Amino acid sequence: MTTKTKGELTEGIILAALLRCGYSVALPFGDNQRYDLIVDDGKRLLRAQCKTGQLRKGRINFKTVSMNGRSGVRRSYHGQADIFLVYCPDNEKVYRIPVRLSGRSMLTLRIAPLGRGASPSAINWARRFD
């Protein structure tokens, strides 16, 4: 499966999940926007960037930047999208994460318990963003 096909599948699954939850969703015309969907939660319109998460060692990881294929330049979504909607095929869940929480290039959501001696204070627990 190509990266583009995987992204389109993720967007479709997220769109269906939003509609099942009763949200209104709009699709921006063309593919030149820095967001994939516009979500109406009844109070405001949110620009949503859809991402595919990968489950590895008890954590869901996803990229919080886009990369230009020609130049290799990475671009943040800060100020250009409001939320990430992340679909994880491994557990078939969708997570909603504010873009303001994202770091430089990757964000991790923890789903498995921590080992002994680990500090839970800096952990992004996935259940918080279900």
Domain coordinates in residue numbering, the chain: 3-129
Classify burial at 89, counting beta carbons within 10 Å of its beta carbon; exposed 0-12, middle 13-18, buried 19 or more: middle
pTM of the model: 0.86
Per residue in 36-46, pLDDT (tens digit) is 999 999 999 99
Say whether 119 sits in a helix, a strand or coil: coil
Per residue in 48-100, pLDDT (tens digit) is 999 999 999 888 999 998 877 778 788 889 999 999 999 999 999 999 999 99
Closest CA to 52 of 105, 90, 103: 90
In CATH, what number does 3-129 get? Answer: 3.40.1350.10
